[in-house]
Structure 1
Amino acid sequence: MTTTPTRLSKQARREQLLDTAVAIVRTQGADGLTLVTLAEKAGVSRPIAYDHFATRSGLLLALHRRLDERHRAAITRALRDAAPSAGAVARVISAAYFACATDMPELSAVSAALKGNPDMEAFQHEVTDSYADLMATALLPYSGLAPHVLRLRCVGVLGAAEALAAELNRERATDAEAVTALTDLIVGGLDTGADR
């Protein structure tokens, strides 16, 4: 008896395609990911892949968005379990930031593939805003700073985190050193500046 394959809903098919895209980037790098290779690896027709993402850039942006959402969700879960202190919250944020680099290397590869893409620039601003808001909300109970000042400091810390990640990738720092450095920067940024 032959069984007919179950037809996936549009959303379920999109998730399947994105799962396949992650696997392709993991094994072949972002250069190996095209709509054609995606269709072949996922076992679907090319028009299905094009219908979901239209262009390779559209596929890379969708994949980047998905990986970023997973990273943010991991930070949010970790923050729920953090001890209620500035240092503990800062350490959770720092550890989660650098864990992303090791747990989701595909994110860096996809980011690099999208360099120079105008849609990616807008998306990067959205990501920075989202992370800065997440950090500021988590740190607000431990800071005497006005919320907008704290948020601005969080934006600055995110820039520092990128620089520390580059040092980590160049093997000029260990994971523990990077986490400690970022934690110290975060906690140091909570100072109200009243004594200056």
Structure 2
Amino acid sequence: MPHSSNAPRRRLPREERTRQLLDVAWKLIGDEGTDALTLGRLAEAAGITKPVVYDHFGTRNGLLAALYQDYDERQTAIFDAAVAAAEPTLQDKARVIAASYVDCVLTQGNEIPGVVSALSGSPEMAAVKRQYQQAFIEKCAAILAPFTGPKGLSLASMWAMLGAADSLSDAAVAGDITKDQAQDELQQIILTIVKRSE
């Protein structure tokens, strides 16, 4: 039986409402593009008042930053599961890190580049991106730590690995190299960084 438009709205707990709004925002971006996403449009599509959306995200950049964070959390869960399932060898851990990173970039679709582009240059994006870069570097350093020599992995090496991961993934997205080439090269870079720590 269809709901009457006069039916009272159910007040969702904050966490559920945030999840609902993020899901509606992803759908809007997929259907209409990032430029169409405003807090007002999101409120309309979600069937709630604008003040509720403003209370959750504050600004459009706040919403876009929340979408980026939502995407990153989902990808982190996939990455963590892949690393946990990998064989406890340097070769396999490096392979999984490389494959997971490149796959993440290749499977992000059109939505996340639009979000990143819309946030480009904003303080919100700079803060969110930096937070996730540092978390990824720390995570990879911990994964690779059992295989390093007494010098350990330098922070500069980890940033170089991340830069290579970004560049190789971007080249695979553009079609300049294949996914396999990007993953293989990134795996070799990771192995080289670990070998240099001996």
Q: 2:179 maps to what in 1?
A: 175
1:44 corresponding residue in structure 2? 48
Q: Secondary structure at the match of 1:15?
A: helix
Change (3 A) 1:89 1:193: closer
Task: State how far apart, in whole Å, the 2-side matches of 1:147 and 1:188 are.
Answer: 13
Which residue number in structure 2 is paired with residue 142 of structure 1? 147
Cα shift at 1:5: 4.8
- Equivalent residue for 1:76, pick from 51, 70, 80: 80
Quick one: distance in 1 between partners of 2:70 and 2:150?
33
- Per the alignment, residue 159 of structure 2 pairs with 155
Residue type at the aligned position of 1:129: Q
Q: Which moved more, 1:128-137 or 1:3-12?
A: 3-12
Q: 1:147 Cα shift?
A: 3.9
TM-score by length of 2: 0.89
TM-score (norm 1): 0.90
Task: Answer yes or no: is the 8 Å Cα contact 1:61–1:120 preserved in 2.
Answer: yes
Aligned residue for 2:119?
A: 114
Q: 1:4 to 1:166 in 2, by over 3 A?
A: same
CA, structure 1 residues 5+122, in 2 after alignment: closer, same or farther (shift >3 Å)? closer
Question: Cα–Cα, structure 1 residues 29 and 165, in superposed 2: closer, same or farther, change >3 Å?
Answer: farther
The amino acid of 1:84's aligned partner reads P
Aligned mates of 1:45, 1:193 — CA distance in 2: 56
SS for the counterpart of 1:190 is helix
Letter in 1 for 2:128: F
Give the distance between the partners of 2:82 and 2:177, measured in 1 at CA: 23
State the AA in 2 paired with 1:187: L
Q: 1:191, 1:171 → 2: CA distance? A: 30
- Distance in 2 separating the partners of 1:157 and 1:59: 30
Task: Report if the CA contact (8 A) 2:149-2:197 is conserved.
Answer: no
Q: Does the 8 Å contact 1:68/1:107 carry over to 2?
A: no
| Matched residue, 1:63 | 67
Mean alpha-carbon deviation: is it higher for 13-22 or for 41-50? Answer: 41-50
Amino acid at match of 2:175: E
Give deviations 1:58-102, integer Å, cap 9, x for gaps: 100111111111111211111110011111111111111122123
After superposition, give the CA deviation of every residue in 1:33-77 in whole Å (9 maximum; x if it has no partner): 111121122121111111111110010011111111111121111
Give the aligned partner of residue 137 of structure 2: 132
Asked if structure 2 preserves the Cα contact closer than 8 Å seen for 1:145 and 1:191, the reply is: no
5+ residue gaps, structure 2: none
Moved more, 13-22 or 24-33: 24-33
Shift of 1:148: 5.2
CA contact (8 A) 2:62 2:124 kept: no
CA distance in 1 between counterparts of 2:197 and 2:54 reads 53
Name the count of aligned residue pairs. 193
